[in-house]
Chains A and B, each alone.
Chain A
Amino acid sequence: MEAQRTDHAAGIDVPTLFFAAAGIAAAAALPFVRARPNRIADGAVRLLADVDPAALVVLLVLWGIAGTAALVQIAERSRARLAILVSLAAPLCAILAAGIVTGSIAGHDPIARVSLSAGFWATAIIGYSSFLSASARAAFPGGLLRRVLGFTVPVILGALVFSGFLDAVSVMREWAVQKTVFLAETGNHLALSGTAVLIGTVLGITIGVSSVRRVAVRRTAFFILNIVQTIPSLALFGLLILPLTALSHRFPLLHEWGISGIGRAPAILALSFYAMLPIARNTFTALSQIPASLREAGIGMGMTRGQLLARVELPLALPLILAGVRTAAVQSVGNAVVAALIGAGGLGVFIFQGLGQYAADMILLGTLPVIAMAVVTDMMMGGLVRVMTPRPLRGEAA
Chain B
Amino acid sequence: MKRLFIFVMISLLLAAGGSLLFAADSGKPVVVGSKIDTEGSLLGKMIVKLLAAKGIPVVDKVGFGTTDVVRKAIVAGELDLYPEYTGNGGFFFDGTDPNVWKDEKKGYNTVKKLDMDKNGLVWLTPAPANNTWAIAVRKDVADKEKLVTLADMARFANAGGKLKLAGSEEFITRPDALPAFQTAYGFTLKNNQLLSLSGGNTALTEAAAARGTDGVNFAMAYGTDGSLFTLGLVVLKDTLGVQPIYEPTAIVRKDTLARYPAIDAVLKPVFLSLDLTTLQSLNARIAVNGESADTVASDYLTKKGFLK
Using CB atoms and an 8 Å cutoff, list the residues of chain A in contact with chain B: 38-42, 110-111, 113, 173-174, 177-178, 181, 188, 191, 195-196, 198-199, 202-203, 217, 220, 241, 245, 247-249, 254, 257-265, 268-269, 272-273, 340-343, 349, 352-353, 355-359, 361-362
Contact = CB atoms under 8 A, between A and B. Distances in A.
A241 B71 CA distance: 12
Given A259-B12, A343-B65, A358-B207, A241 B72 contact: yes
A188 B31 CA distance: 18
Contacts of B204: 358
25 contacts: A40-B231, A41-B210, A42-B210, A177-B291, A188-B22, A195-B21, A196-B18, A198-B14, A202-B14, A203-B7, A241-B72, A258-B22, A261-B76, A262-B73, A264-B15, A264-B18, A268-B15, A268-B18, A269-B12, A272-B14, A342-B69, A343-B65, A343-B69, A353-B36, A359-B287
A257 B290 contact: no
Contact of B66 (A38, A196, A341): A341
A357 B42 CA distance: 13
B78 A260 contact: yes
A245 B77 CA distance: 10
Nearest to B291: A177
A342 B63 CA distance: 10
Given A40-B230, A199-B15, A265-B15, 17 more contacts: A39-B290, A177-B295, A181-B292, A196-B18, A199-B14, A202-B14, A217-B3, A245-B72, A258-B24, A262-B65, A263-B19, A263-B73, A341-B66, A343-B69, A349-B36, A352-B36, A361-B290
Contact of B64 (A196, A268, A343): A343
B33 interface: yes
Contact of A111 (B16, B210, B290): B290
Given A263-B78, A265-B16, A178 B292 contact: yes
Contacts of A260: 76, 78
Contacts of A199: 11, 14-15, 18
Ranked nearest first, the 5 interchain pairs of A and B with the lowest CB-CB distance are A358-B203, A258-B19, A195-B18, A257-B16, A39-B290
B41 interface: yes
Interface string B279-304: 00000001111111011000000000
B307 interface: no
A387 to B, nearest CB: 27
Given A343-B61, A353-B37, A245 B76 contact: yes
A272 B203 CA distance: 34
B80 to A, nearest CB: 14
A359 B290 contact: yes
B259 interface: no
B211 interface: yes
A39 B33 contact: no
A323 to B, nearest CB: 23
Contacts of B201: 355-356, 358
A376 B289 CA distance: 33
Contact of A341 (B15, B36, B38, B76): B36
B53 interface: no
A257 B22 CA distance: 11
Interface of B: 3-4, 7, 10-12, 14-16, 18-22, 24-25, 33, 36-38, 41, 61, 63-66, 69-70, 72-73, 76, 78, 201, 203-204, 206-207, 210-211, 227, 230-231, 286-292, 294-295
Contacts of A249: 76
Nearest to A340: B36
Nearest to A184: B60
Contacts of A265: 15-16, 18-19
A203 B19 CA distance: 18
A110 B295 CA distance: 14
Contacts of B286: 357
A109 to B, nearest CB: 11
B76 A262 contact: yes
B73 A177 contact: no
A40 B211 CA distance: 11
Given A38-B230, A245-B76, A113 B290 contact: yes
Nearest to B205: A358
Query: Which residue among B65, B227, B231 has the maximum number of chain A CB atoms within 10 Å of its CB?
Result: B65
Given A195-B21, A357-B203, A177 B292 contact: yes
A128 B211 CA distance: 35
A173 B292 CA distance: 11
A118 B70 CA distance: 38
A341 B69 CA distance: 8
Nearest to A214: B3
A356 B289 contact: no
Contact of A257 (B4, B20, B211): B20
Query: Which residue among A42, A178, A220, A353 has the maximum number of chain B CB atoms within 10 Å of its CB?
Result: A353
B76 to A, nearest CB: 6
A353 B36 CA distance: 6
Contacts of A263: 19, 73, 78
B2 to A, nearest CB: 12
Contacts of A359: 203, 287, 290
Given A40-B288, A177-B295, A262 B22 contact: no
A169 B289 CA distance: 15
A343 B204 CA distance: 24
Contacts of A173: 290
Contact of A269 (B11, B24, B210, B287): B11
A264 B10 CA distance: 16
A264 B76 contact: no
Given A191-B22, A199-B15, A343-B69, A353 B203 contact: no
B182 to A, nearest CB: 27
B179 to A, nearest CB: 25
A351 B210 CA distance: 23
A341 B35 CA distance: 10
Contact of B290 (A174, A245, A273, A341): A174
Nearest to B204: A358
A39 B287 contact: yes
Contacts of A343: 33, 61, 64-65, 69-70, 73, 78
A356 B76 CA distance: 26
Query: Which residue among A173, A248, A357 has the maximum number of chain B CB atoms within 10 Å of its CB?
Result: A357
